[in-house]
Amino acid sequence: MTDDTEANESTTPTAAQTACFEAGIKFGSLYHQFAGTPISPSSAPSLARAMEESIENQPHCSAVTVDVRTDELERELADSTADYTELTGRFLEVEIVVDYEDREVVTRMAMEDGYPLMELVSVDDREPDA
């Protein structure tokens, strides 16, 4: 019992914890791959689709749903001399579902207090039926 990270019997990650780690990877990937992309109301649907399909390629990723908040996008462009802007979190609502060794993790990004917040919604840590 000399391991200084030890307190429980083990610090070995559980399947549910690994599922949560995998879900986080997908969220960080999606955000930092696509933040900064030029976006307008007319190009938003193709970008949303590409974000979904590209991140769904990643391991254990069962579903990605990207909604562009076109109301917010149009409001920003109405105040602007430009007809496009850069993709950032306040234009996005995203849900990502990861399935790792039968543990399903649902995660979401949405605005909270003016900031885009990525959060774990649920972690289904049931043992699969024998």
Residues annotated in the binding site for substrate, as ranges? Answer: 22, 118
- What part of residues 54-93 is at the interface with its own copies (CB under 8 A)? 54-58, 81-84, 86, 88
Does 30 bind its own copies (CB under 8 A)? Our answer is yes
Among 2, 7, 78, 130, which residue sits at the site for its own copies (rule: CB under 8 A)? 7
Alpha carbon 80 to its chain's center: 29
Tell me the binding residues: 22, 118
Please say whether the beta carbons of 16 and 123 come within 8 A.
yes
DSSP state, 40?
Answer: -
- What number of other Cβ atoms are within 10 A of residue 66's Cβ? 22
Alpha-carbon Rg of the chain, whole angstroms?
Answer: 18
The residues of the shown chain that bind its own copies, judged by CB under 8 A, are 3, 5-8, 11-14, 16-18, 20-40, 42-43, 46-47, 49-58, 81-84, 86, 88, 104-107, 113, 115, 118, 120, 122-127
